[in-house]
Structure 1
Amino acid sequence: MSAKVVIVGGGVIGSSVAYFLRATDPTVSVTVIERDPTYARSSSALSAASIRQQFSTPLSIQMSLFGIEFLRSIGERLEVDGVRPSIDLHEGGYLFLATPAGLDTLRENHALQRKLGADISLLDRAQLDARFAWLNTEDLVAGAFGESGEGWFDGYGLVQALRKKAQALGAHYVPSDVTGLVRDGRRVTHVEDANGESYACDVVVNAAGAWCRRIAAMLGIEIPVFARRRSIFNVSSPAQLERCPLLVDPTGVYFRPEGRTYICGTSPSPDNDPDDLPLDEVDHALFDDVIWPTLAHRVPQFEALRVENCWSGYYEYNVFDHNAIIGAHPDVDNCLFANGFSGHGLQQGPATGRGVSELILHGRYTTLDLSALGFARVLENRPFVEKNVV
């Protein structure tokens, strides 16, 4: 009999796992249970949908290097019935800016990124002025710019393409909510859903995103991942910004082009970032008090801005070290976790899907070793810290 894999969550992580499983071994039975088949509240659909190699840990850089390779080849990889999907990948680059206080970190990160093959340039203030004439550099000393391999894309299009390809390969998607995991000793034997169905499983994958804590709790497992609201604002401006990248200000405020407009955002202060805030309540005060003043300072032409649209989505935020938790918990043999990406899920989804599928099919990683992201580091209090959190 073929192995039975049940994946909880059909966003980019769950659908990536389903795709790689069926593409690698068509004998594996794959069932994906997704509570919201419209993806109206999913992080995959509501994020700023960007990809970068400008991280501070080698593994994050390597995961995103595979991510850009996957996105560039999505038409061939995810073609269904002769139709090749497009996600409008635009490699406009990230531009991380640094004041004197952040220069050493920027240099250290740049050296690591270049060593691993990322196409990142370190620009001094004069070079920033020459390449981005619209930028106010008076308080800056440097910037790191992705010449290629970084940019933005259609996140909703990516998850739909992965889902459709996984289904074409034989994965079964169930529109329902998981209500229980049946455990026998160290193994999960069945996954129960709100439709009253019970799915026997050899392996279960927790890819439930911002709702992963509830799934983990069904096994008596505590996971340090919480749903943190992030608001995104779509703004129009008469500004003419040539070769505009995704810019990350030293304050953490970011913006990037979105057609003829721009999207922007930032993380709220730690003392104003509670869990599970309602998504239908956008943090307008954050825009008025923090984002707009920062944008107007960094790009003087942004003094004239108008909010055209805004929305909120959840980060599945790993409060332990801002990196994903991937792999098994030592208390349960056949439940694999893929949670806590802290805003990096879309770009790290392909590498995660490939890696989790390898654990299921081979019992080990056979391409990129993701073991540093395992649960053991949490239980042993060994943070795998990412400095470049946006």
Structure 2
Amino acid sequence: MASKVVIVGGGVIGSSVAYFLRASDPTVAVTVIERDPSYARSSSALSAASIRQQFSTPLSIQMSLYGIEFLRSIGARLEVAGAQPSIDLHEGGYLFLATPAGEQTLRENHALQTRLGADIRLLDKDGLRQQFPWLNVDDLAAGAFGVSGEGWFDGYGLVQALRKKAQALGARYVHAEVVGVRRDGKKVTHVLTSDGEDYACDTLVNAAGAWARKVADMVGIDIPVFARRRSIFNVSSPAKLTKCPLLIDPTGVYFRPEGRTYICGTSPAADNDPDDLPLDQVDHALFDEVIWPTLANRVPEFEALRVENCWSGYYEYNVLDQNAIIGRHPDVENCIFANGFSGHGLQQGPATGRGVSELILNGKYTSLDLSALSWTRVLENRPIVEKNIV
């Protein structure tokens, strides 16, 4: 059992680990080192903040099933001094659309999702037309709609709620930047910060998000995780889309309601997705050349769109397989990594926090086995094939 745990990064992953550790064992001293307590550049605050079970691998589905259970009960779980947080969870559902070329994969994924308990309905072209009359279905064969358990929420609110609850349970948050570590053989003994302080640790958790690679390098580990910029656009339209879900077009372009407006985006082409692009810039060409034409085709009323706001955030992108790396590396036995979520960190944060706390306190997973996401597949170059990457 580790008596001193230092967590680098206080976003949704780090704060979830801190919460579960202190809730499970109040004798563990937990220190969270966060370089930006305003979270102005954090992926947690800048993402589209959504949750789905529509994945193609069992573990991702199970992690998000626990995620929605956690989010639904967040008021009672994370109550502090009688105040219950709200993250404005809206279970509007995801709608994955498929052309004839993608129909079989959609059906296979749907069978797996429902077998594991996800509430997903498969719709043919007529079903799509009936339920979403504003949708152009001419080139579609089917769609999969999350009836419940999928939707969107306030990501910044979730991070703040986890942080406040972790602090109320006794976790210490430190505003500093980690600049190095001290190692003794296969163990990290101290974490060094830019203000000259050093923090002794029995266990180090790398939850540094888009900056995970830098922290891993300090420990002496090369992790295949890079910061990849994703631009999000808030648009207005006179369109009235009744019961609008978070829609994933076959092209990968997505949109969802945001009050009276909509937010939308897509990933850039693989050959135009460099690392560490500045967050103070937005890929307007991607909107003009890809997103807007796709939306106008899929929803004819979106021909009239106006960009009201836009911003960029980072995916902590695992270039091996776009899935998280969770667990210890064989070269550093007391460092636990929780990195590379590639856009799924908010929804997988609760399951990750619970799992990492179990690994620290018990030496093994006792609820949901996350070992498929361990370093083993990375070191053996055995990527997980997830078909529903968004």
TM-score computed with the length of structure 2 as normaliser: 0.99
How far apart in 2 are the matches of 1:231 and 1:389? 16
Counterpart check, 1:87 vs 2:87: yes
Cα contact 2:235–2:261 (8 A) shared by 1? yes
1:331 alignment counterpart: 331
Q: How do 1:250-261 and structure 2 match up within 5 A?
A: 250-261=250-261
1:24 alignment counterpart: 24
Q: How do 1:99-178 and structure 2 match up within 5 A?
A: 99-178=99-178
How far apart in 1 are the matches of 2:91 and 2:387? 23
SS at match of 1:84: coil
Q: How do 1:52-63 and structure 2 match up within 5 A?
A: 52-63=52-63
How far apart in 2 are the matches of 1:183 and 1:384? 31
Unpaired stretches in structure 1, ≥5 consecutive residues: none
Give the AA of the match of 1:119. D
Cα contact 2:2–2:203 (8 A) shared by 1? no
How far apart in 2 are the matches of 1:314 and 1:203? 27
Give the AA of the match of 2:304. A
Give the AA of the match of 2:94. Y
Q: How do 1:345-364 and structure 2 match up within 5 A?
A: 345-364=345-364
How far apart in 1 are the matches of 2:151 and 2:274? 29
CA RMSD after TM alignment: 0.7
1:264 alignment counterpart: 264
Give the AA of the match of 1:343. G
Cα contact 1:87–1:155 (8 A) shared by 2? yes
Displacement after TM superposition at 1:299 (Å): 0.1
1:214 alignment counterpart: 214
Q: How do 1:371-386 and structure 2 match up within 5 A?
A: 371-386=371-386
How far apart in 1 are the matches of 2:25 and 2:251? 46
Displacement after TM superposition at 1:30 (Å): 0.1
1:304–1:379 CA distance, 2 compared to 1 (3 A): same
SS at match of 2:210: helix
How far apart in 2 are the matches of 1:163 and 1:386? 31
How far apart in 2 are the matches of 1:191 and 1:108? 46
SS at match of 1:128: helix
Give the AA of the match of 2:240. Q
SS at match of 1:136: coil
Counterpart check, 1:287 vs 2:287: yes
Displacement after TM superposition at 1:121 (Å): 0.5
Among all aligned residue pairs of Structure 1 and Structure 2, give the percentage whose two residues are the same amino acid: 82
Displacement after TM superposition at 1:2 (Å): 7.1
How far apart in 1 are the matches of 2:105 and 2:39? 37
Provide the aligned length of Structure 1 versus Structure 2. 390
Unpaired stretches in structure 2, ≥5 consecutive residues: none
Which aligned segments of 4 or more residues in structure 1 are displaced greater than 2 angstroms?
Answer: none
How far apart in 2 are the matches of 1:304 and 1:339? 39
How far apart in 2 are the matches of 1:184 and 1:101? 54
Displacement after TM superposition at 1:386 (Å): 1.2
1:246 alignment counterpart: 246
Cα contact 1:53–1:118 (8 A) shared by 2? yes
TM-score computed with the length of structure 1 as normaliser: 0.99
Give the AA of the match of 2:212. C
How far apart in 1 are the matches of 2:224 and 2:126? 43
How far apart in 2 are the matches of 1:347 and 1:128? 26
SS at match of 1:360: helix
Give the AA of the match of 2:26. P
